[in-house]
Structure 1
Amino acid sequence: MAKAISKEPLKVSDRIYENANEGIDTVISHSFSYKLADHVEELRLSTWDRSPGGSSGWGYHGYGNDQANKLYGNVKDNKLRGYGGADLLVGDAGKDTLEDGTGSDALDGGAGADRMYGGTQSDVYYVDSWSDAVYEYAGEGDNDVVYSCSFSYKLALNVERLYLSEGASPYGRCRDCLQRLWQ
């Protein structure tokens, strides 16, 4: 298991090394983009900001590895990218971009107008705003699902199913007859 060797925040030059099968490890990045090392499972982008005035406007990016990862953004405009494995990508506030890798992933942009891109397997998308956009390419997954909260939503091309939460507007729309609506 990776052990903290300092109470100081990570620096860009710091490297983390982890052996396989030694527990679930989390990296919290306070002030820069970060790519997970092999065998590290979770990344959280913190909202701590050392810029003058405390608000740099910079959006830090988080990148997974070939395992099943959990990547969490912060209140800035983040880019989160999964690679192999069944990943969970969660934005926060801000206009986040979430990119799936090669696994069956779950993508949730959080608050803000988010862009979510699927990968080669079947994926699940959670949308909370009419301005969230889902992109799924032909031939990449055959059971992609969008869950929508309290508003109507038009399914993206190549997304097969839409589930509207209870109490949502019952006006989900499909682009072709192979898509299914559920409420």
Structure 2
Amino acid sequence: MTKTYYGTNGNDVKTATKSGWGLWWENWHMYGYGGNDNLTGGHDDDFINGGSGADRMAGRKGHDTYIVDNVNDTVIEKSGEGFDTVKSYVTFTLSQNVEGLQLQGNNAINGYGNSLGNLMHGNNQRNYLYGYAGNDTIGGYGGDDRIDGGTGADSMIGGIGNDTYVVDNAGDSVVENYNQGFDTVETLLNNYQLGNNVEALKLRSVSGVTTGRGNSLNNSITGNVSNNYLYGNGGNDTLRGYLGNDRLFGGEGSDNLIGMHSTVSNEHDWLTGGGGADYFHLMSYVGSNVYTYDHYGYAILEDFSTYEQDKIFVLGNRSEYTLDTSQGDFLGGGGTDTLIMKGSNIVGVVENNVNVSLDRDFGFV
């Protein structure tokens, strides 16, 4: 049985009561309309909409649904009183003992969970969805969303749009369907593999060696300040080592490998293109993506191949660079290495290869 209450444009106070049969188990639909209303449901599955104004809504037992359209609306639930859901037209944080949050309307608003295992989803606009504690399930729906489950093993589904996911638990999962935008995972884990249909991976700052692996798409993978191992796998990938002593493996496809050094320590990046025509970029980190050289580190090109039409990119003019093979086995790998020199500074080392030409194999930017 369903009972309906309609309020007024004033400040209404209504608590669900028993029917004439003395039954608590009735579904209440309560509409407050205008004013700052105080509405309390019954012991079954209630629908409570305070309307405009700053409303206080409480459902009691049952699986209750609340409409929130004012940032000062409050929802009251006790523990063990069903699976309750807020449908919100404004940015909203779930109160204690409320499990579900669904963002409504056409505005770019945000949603925040609580300590429970929440079920949340956004609307068709850009949303920030944060689950806090608990094992949450969060769907972005439409728009370019940022989804962070917080602590716990969370399931995150982006939907249409260019979505960003924060992964901080080995039990987190990211689900994307084919051709639903350019999607990015930012991970705090030491080892992470991109799932299907996700294009980009960024390693957030953590201690120790970190490893990031791509998939069969054209991935963009960016390291952090630690020592990174980055694997593009299939596709035409772009790998950026950032700071630290990094090892970049492009895999199959025509990959861009960017070794970046700081100016505070002696750092060496190892760049392995793999199959395909790969592009080796020799860079230093100076706050923006520029090609330069310094006195602090150099890149090691492990598999540079003229046959595969690999290219090396450096800053400056052809006349500023020389190639030096006089050091012989500079790296100790058993063959003659070619040093890429800008003045007296080593910019890079082409391992076990003397078939390197500044005119044929280099690009100057």
* Range of TM-score over shorter length: 0.7 to 0.9
- Is 1:35 the counterpart of 2:66? The answer is no
**Counterparts of 2:141 and 2:130, CA distance in 1:** 14
Unpaired runs of at least 5, structure 2: 1-33, 54-68, 78-83, 224-365
2:156 counterpart residue number: 116
Q: Quote how far apart the aligned CAs of 1:30 are.
A: 3.6
Contact kept, 8 Å, 2:170 with 2:189, in 1: the verdict is no
- 1:73 — aligned with what? 113
Which residue type is aligned with residue 135 of structure 1?
V
216, 221, 231: which one aligns with 1:181: 221
Q: Deviations over 1:70-128 (max 9, x none)?
A: 11111111100112110111101111000111111110000100000011111010111
CA–CA separation in structure 1 for the residues paired with 2:198 and 2:165 = 10
Matches within 5 A, 1:4-83: 5=36, 12-18=46-52, 25=71, 27-31=73-77, 32-36=84-88, 40-47=89-96, 49=97, 60-66=99-105, 67-83=107-123
Kindly indicate whether the alpha-carbon contact (under 8 Å) linking 1:71 and 1:88 is maintained by their aligned counterparts in 2: yes
TM-score by length of structure 1 reads 0.78
1: CA distance, partners of 2:36 / 2:142: 33
Q: Greater Rg, structure 1 or structure 2? A: 2
- 3-state SS in 2 of match to 1:17: coil
Written as runs of structure 1 = structure 2, the 5 A alignment for 1:101-140 is 101-140=141-180
Change (3 A) 1:9 1:170: farther
Tell me the equivalent position of 1:167: 206
Structure 1, residues 3-58: CA drift from partner, whole Å, max 9, x if none? 9825x687554314359xxx97354434231112xxx32121112x5xxxxxxxxx
Q: How far is the alpha carbon of 1:180 from its aligned partner?
A: 2.0
Give me the whole-angstrom Cα distance separating, in 1, the residues matched to 2:172 and 2:140: 16
Alpha-carbon distance between aligned partners in 1 of 2:40 and 2:191, rounded to the nearest angstrom:
43
Partners in 1 of 2:158 and 2:118 — Cα distance?
17
Cα distance, 1:146 vs structure 2: 0.7
Paired residue type of 1:44: T
Letter in 2 for 1:45: L
> Corresponding residue for 2:235?
none
Structure with a larger share of its residues in strand: 2
C-alpha distance 86-171 of structure 1, shift in aligned 2 (>3 A): same
Structure number with the bigger relative contact order (C-alpha 8 A, sep ≥ 6) is: 1
Q: Is the contact made by 1:148 and 1:165 (CA closer than 8 Å) also made in structure 2?
A: yes
**3-state DSSP of counterpart to 1:14:** strand
Residue aligned with 1:63, SS: strand
- 1:74/1:149 Cα in 2 relative to 1: closer, same or farther (>3 Å)? same
Seen in structure 2, the aligned counterparts of structure 1 residues 44 and 167 have a Cα distance that, compared at 3 Å, is: closer
RMSD of equivalent CA atoms? 2.6
Give the number of aligned pairs: 164
SS at match of 2:156: strand
Q: Is 25-34 or 154-163 further displaced after alignment?
A: 25-34
In 2, Cα distance between equivalents of 1:140 and 1:10: 42
- Report Cα offsets for 1:118-154 as digits up to 9, x if no partner: 111110101111110000110101x211111142111
Q: Within 2, Cα distance between the matches of 1:138 and 1:160?
A: 11
Gaps of 5+ in 1: 50-58
Distance between the aligned counterparts of 1:136 and 1:27, measured in 2? 34
Q: Percent identity?
A: 28
